[in-house]
Amino acid sequence: MLLEAFKNNIYPYMIQIGKILFIVEAVQLAYMLLREGNWRMFWDKSKAAVSAYIIISGSFAILNFIDKVTANMK
């Protein structure tokens, strides 16, 4: 029940917002790299941005797991 509502109403918008924020972050990181030239900070922040996008993309799998656990409790 919760999974279908999430899949149909919320998930597509979350993916779109995640893509937009990922692109904005990539542009900001590229600009920061050009201004400062600090490659270590660039890689660290890039890993954080990719990790956040993976979590947003994987939110359907996370919610599916939670839905199965709550279904077994009933």
Q: What local confidence, expressed as pLDDT, does residue 1 receive?
A: 65
What is the number of structural domains in the chain? 1
Q: What local confidence, expressed as pLDDT, does residue 39 receive?
A: 92
**pLDDT per residue as tens digits for the range 1-54:** 667 787 788 888 888 988 898 899 999 999 999 999 889 989 998 998 899 888
Q: What local confidence, expressed as pLDDT, does residue 32 receive?
A: 92
63 CB burial (10 A radius; 0-12, 13-18, 19+): middle
Instruction: Name the pTM for this structure.
Output: 0.70
- Radius of gyration for the alpha carbons in the chain, expressed in angstroms and rounded: 17
Residue 43 lies in domain: 2-73
Q: What local confidence, expressed as pLDDT, does residue 15 receive?
A: 86
Distance CA(62)–CA(50), nearest Å, equals 17
Distance CA(65)–CA(74), nearest Å, equals 15
Q: What local confidence, expressed as pLDDT, does residue 74 receive?
A: 66
